A and B are shown apart, each in its own frame.
Chain A
Amino acid sequence: MEQTFKISSSPHVRDSKTTSGIMLDVVIALLPASVFGVYNFGLRAFVLILTCVVSCMLFEWASEMLLHRASTVGDFSAMVTGLLLALNLSPDVPVWMAILGSAFAIIIVKQLFGGLGQNFMNPALGARCFLLISFTGQMTTFTYDGMTTATPLAVLKSGGTVDVMDMFLGRVAGTIGEVSTAAILIGALYLVLRKVISLIIPLAYIGTFTVCIFIYSLSTGIGFEPLYIAAHLCGGGLMLGAFFMATDYVTSPITKKGKWLYGIVLGILTFLLRIYGASAEGVSYAIILSNLLVPLIEKITQPKSFGKGAELQKINGVTAVEIRKVNKLSVLIATIAIFVITFISGVALAYVHKITEKPIENAKQEAKEASYQEVFSAADSFETDEDFDREQAKALLSEAAYQADIDEIVIAKDASGDLLGYVLVVTSHEAYDGDLQLAFGITKDGVINGISFLSISETVGLGMKADTDSFKEQFAGKKVESFRYTKTTAQSDDEIEAISGATVTTNAVVEAVNAGLYYINHMEGGGR
């Protein structure tokens, strides 16, 4: 009988866990946070999640085809990346930005570095940081309940108070997936129960961060304030980062000791970036920075192989217990080394922020002065009106149903120091894409000198035409009570010709100027 059987090297049995099974588990674990995000932020969040997931999978498929690699679309890893990216975006970012982020994550961070398992940092976080640097404005504008709101962490950083319960449940502003600590913890529990992640990294991370915040609050006079610590734990991307992104297999250490060390490094970096960094949040940067430290961490946390050095026991009379002690010492030294690196890099980051703070502030001031000059060319010097009361102005404007705020009033003076007029900085909330900030100059006789945009991000080719001389010149030299726009040719002084196809933008600009005029005319002591 000639019967041949299959042969292969041992072992001949395999565990049922597969890469795609693990990735699918992560997707399932992210569902509570995703669903809550959609519930919280509405359809926009859903569109963004769908966009990221679909475009990540498409980019994966396309780049693998171009690179002649076996397709890994079926293993759900691109889906995980897309989902994580979406959960890390503000619900207000435009769809094209989500697609751009997906392309960066999959093509640049993942595929160009060798595909699945080879990326040097978490693709979703790499993309988020890329977008954060490129489009800081939109990435850090958060609306909640239709209002542009500061995130709880930003409030906390500027010394305000927050509702921790709201933060835990997710009734706050933030990115789509980070707001609800409760939803994230449900997903994390699933991952732990399915043995997809070990708790080492999250525990070390959150533990270290808590200790740092505790010491900080004691040393800065905040004192022992459990709510302050809880707010920091529930705020920002800490929970999402600790359970879903710091535990990313590819970019975290493979060894147990390495995982502990990595978590500690993350905790310290996050603390330093949050408290001393430029922005209120630091989780994303902390994680991608630590991702880069992983090869180093792994190098010094190689496990001691079974019985290493045991052959020396008898010869030198060293007992096994002593060998273990020596080993512990070397781990301690390594830990201290990494800690020092972390601390130095963290302090360096904070220090760089400190030394760049002033120049950046000066540059901003110069830019402002330049725009004042633009709208009030006759003036020789400007000084901020210290008597201006924002809250009072806000109340006055909202009484008159203006959707705009006066941010600043600057007094324009001539060479001899005599009053020439004012420059008003106004923000309109009615623009097509986010807020729009402009400055206009007005003489003491009530004649408008000119307008200039400080911040505008309208649609290119339509709304952005507002920032052209032909549009802006329509305001100059006029003395009116208020303006209105017309879609035909302007007949009188108070009519502004609308930009074709961008009446929303035109309206926002006109209303902003009107709000300023209204304030000047109705303010108590309006004679000034």
Chain B
Amino acid sequence: MGFLTFSGGIHPYDGKELTKDKPVREYLPKGDCVYPLSQHIGAPANPIVKKGDRVLVGQKIAEAGGFVSANIHASVSGTVKVIEPRLTAGGTKVNAIVVENDGLFETVDFSEHIMDLSTLYREDIKDIIREAGIVGMGGAGFPAHVKLSPKNEEDIDYIIVNGAECEPYLTSDYRRMLEESDKIILGLQICVNLFDKAKGIIAIEDNKPEAIRLMKEKLKNNEKISVNVVKTKYPQGAERQLIYANTGRYVNSKMLPADAGCIVHNIDTITAIYEAVIEGKPLYTRIVTVTGNAVNSPCNLLVRNGTSCQELIDAAGGFKEGRIPEKIIAGGPMMGKAIYSLDVPATKSVSALLCFGHDEVQDWEPSNCIRCGRCVDVCPGRVVPSMLAKYAENGDIDAFLKHDGMECCECGCCSYVCPAKRHLTQTIAGTRKQILANKKK
């Protein structure tokens, strides 16, 4: 029997052997921490501290700027140095709170937030999650409490935990599953209990047999939560593809997962929910995989929000002798963002720092499309990328929309396989952004 999957997708070199057996190590920042006020999708948060204020670890320093927005908490103790625009991994300058780290890590007492789970109403739990500033930690940064508050609560059938970790090189979710499986299971249990008929699914790619075995073992008597083994293939962890693989339900760009009765959460997000509800701890840490062929000792680090990326590289033993990387990527190689400076903070949605000694993209000049159809074969959105890119290049928005250009999830498969090395994903993504921006006007 084949594993659960979707049609299309690719099998790039996964590079996971560099870090998959490296246990998570906590890293405490030495220098200042920078907290961009926009680490999530939605309105930026509003600072509630001012220059000169002393803050503690876990203290709320910025408040959500709307329903689709998230609180931000300090991850070190120290004084607020300045609030000014700072460079972020996205490549733009974003207003940020800079905290001078006093190195004491004096922490807010979380125990007073801990409440007896049995006395809590569902709305209380959602409030806790909102208060803890939890956002989707797979990369997009969608606030978790919004996902958990769909309009059609009674229709939610599945809460799917994305343990696919299909992006090459990333091992943070894998380590989390091995090391803190109980937190994941309990976190999922909390989410499942928010809905009347929801069931939990932990979806794991078949290249992580140890995680599958461990989770299955722990869940063998659990009727509400099951483990699904999905085929190792990129982008198995893409939200729509994951939902289809696990439930056979389709979600398109006009829908939210909740419209198909599903909610998908990242492993780290679920852990954060556990920590917020059970331990009273807001979100200020995450696991970052620091890897690539240019760093000395690739590793998985438990990182405090706001830590400088330079410090993370140093924590991984720095760059190899005489091998200054050509490219550094915040996130995985397929959808991560290349950063040109290490002077950016690790935020809630930075899952990895990937350092390539050589940038292979620059090796190729795009040439004419030879219509080989490889992009069509791999496209998980089942569109025709070569055609969409042509419409995009010609500025033909009508044709782009007619041929379902908005169904592209920008996973990068088409650019990856293109033998003519055309920048298909980039071209299509640019036009999508433009269309979305015009819609908002």
Contact = CB atoms under 8 A, between A and B. Distances in A.
Do A and B originate from a single complex? Answer: yes
Interface of A: 1, 3-15, 17-19, 21-22, 70, 72, 75, 77, 115-118, 249-250, 252, 254-256, 302-311, 313-314, 320
A69 B310 CA distance: 45
Given A7-B340, A12-B333, A310-B249, 12 more contacts: A3-B341, A5-B339, A11-B415, A12-B336, A14-B360, A15-B419, A72-B367, A249-B373, A255-B373, A255-B384, A256-B377, A310-B251
B434 interface: no
Interface residues of B, number: 76
B370 A19 contact: yes
B338 A5 contact: yes
A310 B260 contact: yes
A443 B316 CA distance: 107
Nearest to A303: B382
A303 to B, nearest CB: 5
Given A18-B421, A310-B251, A311-B254, A3 B342 contact: yes
Contacts of A309: 252
Give me the 3 closest cross-chain CB pairs, A-B, nearest first. Answer: A11-B412, A307-B250, A307-B252
Interface stretch (B52-60, B112-120, B174-182, B321-329): B321-329
A117 B370 contact: yes
Interface in B41-71: none
B252 A116 contact: no
8 contacts: A10-B333, A10-B334, A12-B329, A19-B419, A22-B372, A249-B373, A302-B403, A306-B382
Given A3-B341, A10-B334, A307-B250, A75 B367 contact: yes
A304 B252 CA distance: 12
A14 B364 contact: yes
Interface string B231-253: 00000000011001000111110
Contacts of B376: 254-256, 303
B contact patch SS: loop
Interface in B329-380: 329, 333-342, 354, 356, 359-364, 367-374, 376-377, 380
A254 B415 CA distance: 16
A255 B387 CA distance: 11
A249 B374 CA distance: 10
B91 A7 contact: yes
A451 B408 CA distance: 75
Contacts of B368: 72, 115-118
A395 to B, nearest CB: 57
Given A10-B425, A12-B333, A13-B168, A254 B370 contact: no
Given A303-B382, A307-B252, A310-B252, A13 B12 contact: yes
B382 A18 contact: no
Contacts of B369: 117
B77 interface: no
A17 B387 CA distance: 20
B371 A249 contact: yes
Given A3-B341, A117-B368, A254 B373 contact: yes
Nearest to A4: B340
Contacts of B6: 306
B381 interface: yes
A308 B410 CA distance: 17
Given A11-B334, A14-B421, A310-B251, A5 B326 contact: yes
B260 to A, nearest CB: 7
Interface in B242-296: 244, 248-252, 254-255, 259-260
Contacts of A254: 371, 373, 376, 384, 386-387
Nearest to A11: B412
Contacts of A19: 367, 370, 419-420
Nearest to A15: B417
Given A8-B359, A14-B421, A320-B248, A249 B334 contact: no
Interface in B402-441: 403-404, 407, 410, 412, 415-421, 423, 425-426, 429
Nearest to A23: B370
A21 B421 CA distance: 12
A309 B386 CA distance: 23
B407 A305 contact: yes
A233 to B, nearest CB: 26
Given A250-B371, A307-B240, A6 B417 contact: no
Interface string B83-100: 000000001000000000
B416 A14 contact: yes
B250 A306 contact: yes
A8 B425 CA distance: 12
Most chain-A CB neighbours within 10 Å: which of B324, B338, B362, B372? B372
Contact of B370 (A14, A249, A256): A249
A19 B328 CA distance: 28
Contact of B419 (A21, A70, A302, A320): A21
A424 B143 CA distance: 97
Interface string B297-330: 0000000000000100000000000001111110
A304 B376 CA distance: 12
Contacts of B341: 3-5
A304 B381 CA distance: 9
B13 interface: yes
A304 B374 CA distance: 17
B373 A305 contact: no
Nearest to B372: A249
Nearest to B426: A9
B251 A307 contact: yes
B397 interface: no
A204 to B, nearest CB: 15
Nearest to A115: B368
Nearest to B243: A307
Contacts of B415: 11, 14
B383 interface: yes
Contacts of B420: 18-19, 117
A250 B161 CA distance: 42
Contacts of A313: 250
B247 to A, nearest CB: 10
Nearest to A18: B419
A404 to B, nearest CB: 52
A21 B368 CA distance: 15
B419 A6 contact: no
B259 A314 contact: yes
Given A118-B368, A305-B407, A10 B336 contact: yes
Contacts of A5: 325-328, 338-341
A115 B362 CA distance: 24
A314 to B, nearest CB: 7
A73 B371 CA distance: 18
Contact of A12 (B10, B251, B338, B421): B338
Nearest to A17: B419
A5 B425 CA distance: 21
B384 A303 contact: yes
Most chain-B CB neighbours within 10 Å: which of A17, A18, A115, A303? A303
A293 to B, nearest CB: 15
A63 to B, nearest CB: 15
Nearest to B408: A305
A22 B372 CA distance: 10
Contact of A308 (B334, B387, B407, B416): B407
B52 to A, nearest CB: 29
Nearest to A197: B372
Contacts of B334: 10-13
A515 B334 CA distance: 79
A32 B407 CA distance: 44
Most chain-B CB neighbours within 10 Å: which of A6, A72, A252? A6
Nearest to B376: A254
Contacts of B325: 5
Contacts of A116: 367-368, 370
A105 to B, nearest CB: 16
A310 B356 CA distance: 40
A1 B368 CA distance: 41
Given A11-B425, A115-B368, A305 B381 contact: yes
